[in-house]
Each structure stands twice: as C-alpha cells, then as structure tokens.
Amino acid sequence: MKFPVVPVFILILFTCFASAIWFISPDSKDSHTKTWSSFIYTHGYDSGKYKKTDNFDHYDACRDFARVQSSLYDNVPWECGLNCEFDPRKQGFQCKEMKNEN
C-alpha cells in the first residue's frame, strides 16, 4: 500500500495557512485603555496646526479642557479624540472616535 503523499501535503499546507491567518489577525479584544486627547485648532481646521493634549480619562474632562483652551485663542475650533495614534502614511493623528459636543 502506498503512502498518500498528495493528501497529506495538502493537509499540511492547509494547516500552515490556517495557523498563519490565526496568528496574523488582530485580537477581537481591545488592548488599549480608553484615553481621550484634545485637539485645539489654533489656525482653523484646514491649517493642520493644532495643540494636542493627551491622557484624559473621559470625554467630559477632555471637553472641559478643550473649551478653556479654545477660549484662550478666541474660540477656535476644537475636538476630542478617543485612542488616537500617529499615522505616518497620512502624517497626522487618527482616532477611533472624534467628538465636539458643545
């Protein structure tokens, strides 16, 4: 009786492919702590210039800080972002969520 080489090879190949997908795919759980960052746009939204302050525990603290800072610069636009990270491809910060509730 011959050893079935082709089916065993296909099974090993399929197992390697499945394990590669398993290890490469991100976990479904969120590994980041929820932190908010404030963005104060001192020259308007389109200028790309902003003052960023990090590590607010909740949106309300970020909002209150942003309102005070905005009033110091003649009520310029502001936003608060959740879990922001710098994206080198876009040369800016990307956040999971952005809010501006006055």
pLDDT in tens, 5-55: 888 899 999 998 888 887 887 655 555 578 999 999 998 887 778 899 999
Q: How far apart are alpha carbons 75 and 93 in whole angstroms?
A: 22
Element (H, E) at 73: none
| Distance (Å, whole) CA 37 – CA 52 | 7
Which pLDDT score is estimated for 102? Answer: 66
> pTM of the prediction?
0.64
